[in-house]
Amino acid sequence: MNTYARQPVAFVRGQGVWLWDEAGKKYLDALAGIAVNTLGHNHPRLVRALTEQIGRIIHTSNLFRVPQQEAAADRVAEITGLDEVFFCNSGLEANEAAIKVARKYGHDRGVKEPAIIVMEKAFHGRSLATLSAGGSRKVQAGFEPLVQGFVRVPLNDLEAVRQVAAHNKNVTAVFIEPIQGEGGINVSRLEYLRELKQICDANEWLFMSDEVQCGLGRTGKWFVYQHAGFLPDVVPLAKGLAGGVPVGACVVGGRARGVFKPGNHGSTFGGNPLAMTGVVTTIDTVKEESLLENAGRVGDSMLNNLRNALRDVAGVAEIRGMGLMIGIELDRPCGELVKAALDAGLVINVTADNVVRILPALIMNEVEGREVVERVAPLIKGFLAQGSAQPKAAAVAR
């Protein structure tokens, strides 16, 4: 179907943070398949583990024990600090599971029509429930009637949450991307997250942290909630979890532990030996190569270098982010920068119409990070200097 406005480039080979197209042209990859290729391209350890697994067995079924899934669940429980994991195949599925957990949690407590507090500008996926939970009218338009049971508030606004708490007794959960990715790299204040958690505790709501894009080490810790210093009840994951093999996971603990019973949820492919080998190898490699520290250090220096390179440039509204999740907001739509960057041998993305998004692999080193800045800053300056204020369609985000 005609669902993507694709760029006229096909990458056929990758190595580390570098890509080559069909014509042999080389690109610096500052997008990592939209936060998927945690270990970059062609990481020898991931390639070896996956190849060996394919040679033994690719898929069995959740009708049987899957040892690789047990190993992956142990790893995910350890890095999240939570207790139970359901494996699926994508971010939206992880979020569907989270929404079901919140509803089941409500029903178990006698709430007949459970409601979930969600955030403006959020993106949780494109299934009916997840697009209804999201805050983008563009994503929802044409797919009404929406799924009911979501109450929307602005990000970083505790008073709005308190108002809902006072008036809506059906609320059972808060669902938040602690750094909104598709919405334009909108960062929650850590103090806001901590107070939001306190509101959840006071009301016995679930705190559900969608870390599909911002999680898995990108910000310098495994998860954004770890910067804030508390444990959520539900953490949906996907994207970078298996280094490029499709996977999702809904991880629960705290008040959400034990909510799902046999028969409440399931997936044919979810947690199969191939994907689980990707999970185990990705997590082990991030640890052994100290990639959390790397992401924090390289991300900080990229952010600083970008701020220096674009200081006082008219048209740059804000540069923000955490670790290797960086957004450069311009004062005008800038989708055409994606093609200009490709022409200059750089892979970036534009989201929310006017935010240049940088999401490199966690293996990106300081030199490569500097090169991203050296390539992207002149493009942005050149684009702004043209004075092109014509509203353009945004680059497709996924």
Given the DSSP bridges, would you call strands 26-29 and 346-347 parallel, antiparallel or unpaired? parallel
Nearest distance in Å: CB 134, ligand PLP:
8
Distance from C-alpha of 178 to C-alpha of 186, rounded to nearest angstrom: 8
- Binding residue (CB under 6 A) for ligand PLP from 14, 33, 178, 181: 181
**Residue 227 or 398: which CB sits closer to ligand PLP?**
398
**Residue 213 or 285: which CB sits closer to ligand PLP?**
213
Token code pair at residue 370: 């500097």
Does residue number 398 form part of the binding site for ligand PLP (CB under 6 A)?
yes
Sign of CA dihedral 379, 380, 385, 391: positive
Integer-rounded Cα Rg, in Å, for the chain is 21
Which residue is closest to ligand PLP by CB?
91
Contact 331, 317 (CB under 8 A): yes
Does residue number 96 form part of the binding site for ligand PLP (CB under 6 A)?
no
**Residue 347 or 380: which CB sits closer to ligand PLP?**
347
**Residue 332 or 398: which CB sits closer to ligand PLP?**
398
Dihedral angle over CA of 146, 262, 79, 368, nearest 10 = -50
- Binding residue (CB under 6 A) for ligand PLP from 33, 91, 114, 178: 91
Does residue number 238 form part of the binding site for ligand PLP (CB under 6 A)?
yes
Nearest distance in Å: CB 178, ligand PLP:
10
**Number of chain positions touching ligand PLP (CB under 6 A):** 15
Does residue number 182 form part of the binding site for ligand PLP (CB under 6 A)?
yes
Distance from C-alpha of 289 to C-alpha of 217, rounded to nearest angstrom: 12
Nearest distance in Å: CB 84, ligand PLP:
20
Does residue number 213 form part of the binding site for ligand PLP (CB under 6 A)?
yes
Stretch that binds ligand PLP, among 186-194, 200-208, 209-217, 370-378 (CB under 6 A): 209-217
Nearest distance in Å: CB 160, ligand PLP:
20
Nearest distance in Å: CB 30, ligand PLP:
17
What DSSP designation does 16 have?
B
What DSSP designation does 255 have?
G
According to DSSP, the residues that pair with 316 across neighbouring strands are 330
Q: Show contacts of 29-33: CB within 8 Å, 24+ apart.
A: 29/347, 29/360, 29/361, 30/346, 30/347, 30/348, 30/358, 30/359, 30/360, 30/364, 30/372, 30/376, 31/347, 31/348, 31/349, 31/357, 31/358, 31/359, 31/360, 32/240, 32/359, 32/360, 32/361, 33/244
- Binding residue (CB under 6 A) for ligand PLP from 29, 96, 210, 353: 210
3-class state of residue 59 by DSSP? coil
Distance from C-alpha of 396 to C-alpha of 398, rounded to nearest angstrom: 6
**Residue 92 or 274: which CB sits closer to ligand PLP?**
92
- Tell me which residues in 111-150 interact with ligand PLP (CB under 6 A): 123-125
Nearest distance in Å: CB 97, ligand PLP:
12
Does residue number 212 form part of the binding site for ligand PLP (CB under 6 A)?
yes
Stretch that binds ligand PLP, among 84-92, 105-113, 192-200, 261-269 (CB under 6 A): 84-92
Token code pair at residue 232: 């959520």
Q: Which residues of this protein are in contact with ligand PLP, per CB under 6 A?
A: 90-92, 95, 123-125, 177, 181-182, 210, 212-213, 238, 398
